[in-house]
A = this chain, B = another copy of it.
Amino acid sequence: MGGIDDSVLTGLREAGARFEREELADLLAGIAAAPPAPPGHDPLAWTALVAPRAPAALRRRLAELVAGFGAGDDGLGRTGTDPDRLAALRAELSRRGLDGVLVPRGDEHQGETVPRRAERLAWLTGFTGSAGMAVVLAARAALFVDGRYTLQAAGEVDAALIEVVPLMETPPEAWLERHLAAGARIGFDPWLHTEDEAGRLRRSAAKAGAELVALDGNPVDAIWIGQPPPPIAPVVAHPAAYAGEGSAEKRRRVRAVLAEAGADALLLTRPDALAWLLNIRGADVPFTPLALGFAIARVGGPVTLFMDRRKFVPGLDEWLGPEVAVEAPAALGPALDALGAGRARVLADPATAPAWAFARLGAAGARLVEGPDPTLRMKARKNPVELAGMRAAHRRDGAAMARFLAWLAREAPKGEITEIAAARAIEAERAKDPLFRGPSFATIAGAGPNGAIVHYRVSERSNRRLDPGTPFLVDSGGQYLDATTDVTRTIAVGAPTDEMRARFTRVLKGHIALATLVFPEGTLGAQIDAVARQFLWQAGLDFEHGTGHGVGCYLGVHEGPQSISKLYRKAPIEEGMVVSDEPGSYKAGAYGIRIENLLAVRAIEGIPGAERSMLGFEVLTLVPVDLALIERELLAPAEVAWLNAYHARVRSEVGPLLDPETAAWLARATRPI
């Protein structure tokens, strides 16, 4: 790269880091492809990957170089659908003798947040949502999105070029069955689809007499000029004080599960599984501290981690220890071949691992043991140290939210605050915490009608003022070294109407009903989801999202395997899991209401006469519920008692962390009703 002059290379050499020019250029391009450091973070932390001992001036010079890469147009800045890109893709398909191609939003790891390099769907269609898939045929193209994103997709995508299809009405499988011509060859990148998904799509294509062809090389990559390289962000140790269990012990538990399942090896393709198993954290994607990579765990031996070593901060090799071998990502294929050659029984999860891995293992002769990745369940059940971290972080997070809400209570009536200003204020309050590592997702700050858009993401264009008379919905969370938080509150701005209060109170009743539910071990989330909806149902209302998702510990704000929603998932709610409790009510074009706390699942002991092992919840989130939106007459005495006890707890646990002015606000906000 032209920007790297000799003085940089010389400076690095003097700081003990020897680089070829091209080698440095590659490294800096990878660093530029990682998300920027969040507020409150050292924006130059990544320089440790280049030269840990570089003097300040050299660091600044490196930052300029990285910024230069970032400024280079990677094509993701454009809004709307670019017809030239669609045309280029079709030309590429034609070159390869294909009649169409699938372009999913996912990456090789099926993560919810993906690196810029993997934003193929956004680059191609203009759709920026976190889930979706396009099917591009010669004469037509369709974008499949779920209920959260139908409105957003319609606004972002040129309907003349790409039809937006709500997948609840027409799943891609049904569409393919209907629209593929017999004999058509449709390409797909087997790295980007799970084995299960590829199987479903393949069967649908077959019903139409068409064929799904696994491609060697993604056709979007072939035409995307300026596509970023894989991200390079520091991978750091996640110490025992936060993790609560050493990696060696976790690996021992995984080996025991493999032995029990009769498997010789486990293929790990989810970066959150790697992070948990190896007690490491990264920064390759926004909002979740993931270090992208793969791993193979063996029943009788070491773990091999397939990860770009350039991401390791100094000392990480020692942290991983001698029983974790590190190889380049490209070595994964040959490693699977070796497993196959040894006729190994390999446990791989068809719901999360790419079709590519199954094909490779199968071709190599491995004996596949299909089953859920056992680390997901282990990770979901937090240990006592993680739960202690969750509790501690929620007290501090509650203090940040209290300062934000007190500020909002002061400022909102003036009618000047915008959604963007509110979102920034929350992040700024959280960033005061030394353990804060950034927001856990893009803050949803929806005033009035924007609050009714479930996955609203404020932009300069959509930004609204918080108008008196409409509630303000704010859903935000933080990544802390000791926990991940996620909290939604709906705040009255001015006087709410009776309808708003009635809806809010019904949402609150459902929230309380779930938080206080006692249920037997083995219960699935889909079995208790209605508990949070029942009072809305009474009023002819419902909400089009799940009631609760799993939450990681300084990991993904959305994690499985558990889920409390209408969708059936086989994984039961188990002790130690953390889930959200977030019923809502959305009046399209008017306002939205949601109340979300995180809950830790705990055993309920000591019920007289109990015949079953029962579970219940401990509330983690400590943030006041806006009393101005409550219609007390609609609450049962037990619900009033719950709210008053919760608010007393918020006051006693968060109050001591606050300045006197905020503490006074908190005392008022949590007064008994």
Contact = CB atoms under 8 A, between A and B. Distances in A.
A7 interface: no
A609 B540 CA distance: 7
Contacts of A519: 530, 537
A213 interface: no
Given A527-B529, A529-B527, A542 B520 contact: yes
Interface residues of A, number: 30
A537 B614 contact: yes
Contacts of A529: 527
A41 to B, nearest CB: 42
A12 to B, nearest CB: 56
Contacts of A611: 540-542
B609 A542 contact: no
A310 interface: no
B609 A499 contact: yes
A612 B542 contact: yes
A437 B523 CA distance: 40
A601 interface: no
A44 interface: no
A569 to B, nearest CB: 10
Contacts of A537: 517-520, 614
A309 interface: no
A350 B282 CA distance: 47
A612 B540 contact: yes
Contacts of A130: none
A526 interface: yes
A610 B530 contact: no
Interface string A518-541: 111001101111110010011111
Contacts of A538: 518, 607
A400 B512 CA distance: 44
A93 B529 CA distance: 50
For A527, A534, A604, A636, the residue with the greatest tally of chain B CB atoms inside 10 Å of its CB is A527
Interface in A302-350: none
A540 B603 CA distance: 11
A195 to B, nearest CB: 16
Contact of A527 (B520, B523, B526, B609): B526
Interface string A344-375: 00000000000000000000000000000000
A18 interface: no
Contacts of A530: 519, 523, 527-528, 530-531
Contacts of A517: 534, 537
- How many copies the complex holds: the figure is 2
A403 to B, nearest CB: 36
A540 B499 contact: no
Contacts of A527: 526-527, 529-530, 566
A219 B413 CA distance: 83
B612 A568 contact: no
A553 B135 CA distance: 47
A40 to B, nearest CB: 41
Nearest to A606: B540
A322 to B, nearest CB: 36
Nearest 4 CB-CB pairings of A with B = A540-B610, A540-B607, A568-B568, A518-B537
A529 B539 CA distance: 20
Nearest to A586: B611
Given A528-B530, A568-B568, 5 more contacts: A523-B566, A526-B568, A531-B534, A540-B611, A541-B610
A568 B571 CA distance: 13
10 contacts: A499-B609, A518-B540, A519-B530, A520-B537, A520-B542, A523-B530, A524-B566, A527-B527, A539-B607, A540-B610
A604 B539 CA distance: 10
Contacts of A526: 526-527, 568
Interface string A467-510: 00000000000000000000000000000000100000000000
Interface string A581-616: 000000000000000000000001001011110100
A526 B520 CA distance: 15
A532 to B, nearest CB: 11
A261 to B, nearest CB: 12
Contacts of A614: 537, 540
Interface in A536-568: 537-542, 566, 568
A519 B542 CA distance: 9
For A519, A530, A539, A568, the residue with the greatest tally of chain B CB atoms inside 10 Å of its CB is A530
Nearest to A521: B542
Given A530-B519, A568-B568, A539 B499 contact: no
A568 B569 CA distance: 10
